[in-house]
Amino acid sequence: MKKLFLSIFVAGLFLSGCSSTPPTPSAVTPIGYKYQSSESSILLGIGDKGMSDQAVKEIASEHCNSFNKYVFNYEYDFIEDSDGAKGYFYCTDKYEPTRSVKGKIRNINWTNYESQEGTSLRINKAKNTCKTLGFEEGTEKFTDCTLKLYTQEVENRVALEVARQKSSSASSSSNSDTMTIYDPVRDRQNQIDRGMKMLSGGCTLGIDC
């Protein structure tokens, strides 16, 4: 009888020890896992596919859009540790072509600024500003105000992109046999035309715009 009780006691200790052992954490960060998030940024697991993964982009866009901001990701702006790779995505209400990353100025790796979401956000921002200024929605003056503010942001984006290209053209030409040519006039006109079509009802966002 004593041997039986001793066997049961030992078995109980063994089972309780097994149940208290924590599971081994995964060595790979799930794609899109949110590690940190705020109104200004979000840190996401990017897995093996990196920051070009569509799922990661959609999560970052949704997060920043909830604050009526664009999302920007920059070159080499990620960390790697025992959990895997994590990428930083920044939320901002203006176009920012470069950012200081680990002590160096880096260019945009990806942004939704030029996407349908970005265009819609710029128009909505302009509309909200015009409402605040007292213009009545649906009137000609409201449309003129919206278009003017939208155009100003487009022109600001073009100016920043031209400045960025000028500053990096020397290093680009010395390190590569090819160089991307940016046409500010064409880009500005394309953006304005797209905005005017949306404002006038000439196209529908996500369908033909």
Residues 76 and 124 in one domain: no
Residues 51 and 107 in one domain: yes
Per-residue pLDDT tens for 130-151? 999 999 999 999 999 999 999 8
In a domain, 40, yes or no: yes
Global model pTM greater than 0.75: no
Residues 196 and 133 in one domain: yes
Per-residue pLDDT tens for 70-99? 999 999 888 888 777 889 999 999 999 899
Residue 70 has what pLDDT? 94
Per-residue pLDDT tens for 6-65? 454 444 444 444 433 333 334 455 778 888 999 999 999 887 655 667 888 999 999 999
Residue 55 has what pLDDT? 86
Residue 9 has what pLDDT? 42
In a domain, 46, yes or no: yes
Distance, CA of 36 to CA of 74 (rounded, Å)? 17
Beta partners for residue 100, in sequence order: 105
